[in-house]
A and B are shown apart, each in its own frame.
Chain A
């Protein structure tokens, strides 16, 4: 700790260079923070989902609705607690500027399937008893300024009414919230009562349920129950595919492509650039100070201590840049509209921490070793050795030029 002042003084010996390097580091870590937040968002998209829910969809595609008659058959399977059905409605509200998903469900069954949603008792009752009833998540209700009793027109791009129109009116009878912070943030959807939906749509489509949300009694049995459900409908025209809710959600994300790969490639490119830049800056800083380091050694600092001083300086530089960059990334992520729920969570900070350690070693170790090996006499005379990195670079380049010279000489002689 007593060397803190020394490290600080060494760091800001050349204010301009350190400041510029620091700014580069801040930019790099801002980007790293934001990119890894994207990564964390997509990879952890479904972590919060319970393991006791399964989704049964048509094996051909989840866009093919399954018929309602499968419901009692699934419910009869031992170990199944309850079954809800859910149909994506695909409604647009007001020119579709703010998109939010809506699902047509059986209200009573929804309540059993998703105890994570909380709502006053009378609103649950109203949802169950109102044929054209709808409930909205707290977040979208706030965003659109809805209150209970409002009529919400939704223009479905999938479902046509018997009269040929696709405009459906829903009566808002409740506003639900999540039972904890995590679910509260996700209250961005709307549930519609199956009653009006099934009655209103064209006859050919009636009786189609969509997908089934199966709640199992014991999560340990999930896999076995999923297999039982699929076996039950095998070789029928309604073959099913049952997977955990988590797997189902991840399937959506995977459809977009390998986001993790893209994000990590960019992070890699950023990291490589910053490694190079900081490395050069550090080795410059140490080379300029070789006589000073020799003085330190004269004063009785051991080789080891001098090495640690240089390493500590590299660490201080990287850590400071990373900290400021990550703070900036957090501010930016927090300021994004709620459609982009980026968070610099523990995972992101861990990635940044590991990056700092790696960066410190990569950029600090070569000059630190140079400082350690320094002979006092040479150093005082200003005969500092080049860093290993620079030596390597120069050797490579010399070889290249020599070969070119040789080729030119050969050409000249022929």
Chain B
């Protein structure tokens, strides 16, 4: 028999005997499924957040805020500045000849989560009519748009799911006045976590003289540098100019880093535990097979097929564990909707996203654990003295 056939035969023979050691074998599967499941679930949280924020922006639109501010919340631009910004030649004009730009006012409001008394911070965004056209994905999913000059709101679909009392027809109290919810909308990304209304109505109700940011359509992709240079060097202005996509990607703050390191720490400690479990299983598998291994060696089989058979068992079981863990994470958490405090100190609603990349990462970790857990027992199996092994160790 060639060496390859030897390896194949012994590996197959060994794998067929796994059901006899079922309980011990399941230790590897369950242990690794736990590690991979937890890691994939945690990381799917940050990938979901990144997808939401990354999906908000376009590269041919710019967000202009006060210089030195990270988010729109702390930003303030006087109306005069906003008008000046909109007149920049790099900014596109709409069919009506007016700049395709929307000066927007953000205020934070508190809306309770279901079953809680204390409120969560939700952005109320006052937009100009041109703001609708700037968001290509915008559509009303229920109800109608707000009317300018009346205390009316529309609510993003993420916010509707996450917070209480945002159904059409309900009212919200801000500064002694009642705002009626007249519609639900979908616009993609972070905007879906917001309440929208007419800008001038918001300014009036909240006594805000200026705007928080200006969102503008570039004439072309290349117009960005020109707009940025002109606006940032204009002595009448103190502004930051960012592409919309970059602006929103920056809004996740440290959150993805924190989740990433948390997942790393938890997965590392769990992986250690699972590795010891795998070692245990494989050592007992080897010890159960001592006589069999002794017989094989006496018949002239080499050390390599023996090592291969142990490693194959360890890797196959850990693969099963990895796939099981990733599958559980996918079934339980993919699409699970939550919201958390984003970089601009308001809530961002997002969904857990178990991506193929994360599954691959989880399965790789599983195989790594299986490899480490199988190696030492495999070497021990290959080194068993034949005579002692024949007698049963």
Q: List A residues at the B interface (Cβ < 8 Å).
A: 16-17, 20-21, 23-25, 27-28, 30-31, 34-35, 58-64, 90, 157-158, 160, 164, 166, 204, 234-239, 241, 243, 247-248, 250-251, 254-258, 262, 265-266, 269-270, 272-274, 276-277, 280-281, 283-284, 389-390, 393-394, 397
Contacts and interface: CB of A to CB of B under 8 A. Distances in A.
Given A31-B270, A237-B175, A269-B38, 5 more contacts: A21-B280, A64-B206, A157-B70, A256-B341, A270-B270
A59 B24 contact: no
Among B27, B41, B265, B273: residue with most chain A CB under 10 A: B273
A284 B34 contact: no
A157 B74 contact: yes
A255 B68 contact: no
A284 B284 contact: yes
B345 A251 contact: no
Interface stretch (B9-17, B80-88, B109-117, B127-135): B109-117
A262 B310 CA distance: 37
Interface string B26-46: 110011011101100110000
Nearest to A273: B34
19 contacts: A16-B280, A17-B280, A20-B279, A23-B276, A24-B276, A24-B277, A28-B273, A59-B174, A60-B175, A61-B110, A247-B117, A257-B339, A257-B340, A258-B338, A266-B38, A272-B34, A280-B24, A280-B26, A397-B19
B175 A238 contact: yes
B161 to A, nearest CB: 14
B89 interface: no
Contacts of A270: 34, 38, 270, 273
Contacts of A390: 22-23
B69 A157 contact: yes
B173 interface: yes
B292 to A, nearest CB: 18
Closest 3 CB pairs of A and B: A27-B273, A251-B118, A273-B34
Contacts of A281: 27, 280
B121 A61 contact: yes
Interface in B158-175: 173-175
B360 interface: no
A30 B269 contact: yes
A386 B34 CA distance: 26
A273 B283 contact: no
A63 B73 contact: yes
Contact of A16 (B107, B120, B175, B283): B283
B322 to A, nearest CB: 14
A277 B338 CA distance: 33
A276 B19 contact: no
A272 B23 contact: no
A251 B345 CA distance: 13
B388 interface: no
B269 A27 contact: yes
Q: What band does the interface of chain B fall in when counting residues whose beta carbon is under 8 Å from A? A: 35 or more
B26 A276 contact: yes
B97 interface: no
Interface of B: 19, 22-24, 26-27, 30-31, 33-35, 37-38, 41-42, 68-70, 73-74, 76, 107-110, 113, 116-121, 173-176, 206-207, 209, 238, 265-266, 269-270, 272-274, 276-277, 279-280, 283-284, 338-341, 345, 347
A409 B68 CA distance: 74
Contacts of A166: 68
B23 A389 contact: yes
B68 A273 contact: no
A277 B27 contact: yes
A58 B274 CA distance: 51
Nearest to A247: B118
A63 B273 contact: no
Given A27-B270, A276-B26, A390-B23, A239 B175 contact: yes
Nearest to A275: B30
A20 B30 contact: no
B383 to A, nearest CB: 15
A393 B22 contact: yes
Contact of A63 (B26, B121, B176, B209): B121
A254 B284 contact: no
Contacts of B347: 255
Contacts of B338: 257-258
A205 to B, nearest CB: 10
A254 B279 contact: no
Contacts of A239: 173, 175-176
B118 A284 contact: no
Among A60, A247, A393: residue with most chain B CB under 10 A: A60
B118 A272 contact: no
Among A34, A266, A389: residue with most chain B CB under 10 A: A266
Contacts of A269: 34, 37-38
B276 A274 contact: no
B283 A17 contact: yes
Contact of B113 (A63, A254, A265, A274): A254
Nearest to B177: A237
Nearest to B332: A265
B310 to A, nearest CB: 16
A68 to B, nearest CB: 16
A280 B22 CA distance: 10
Given A27-B272, A269-B38, A284 B24 contact: yes
B276 A21 contact: yes
A394 B120 contact: no
Contacts of B41: 265
A90 B73 CA distance: 12
B279 A276 contact: no
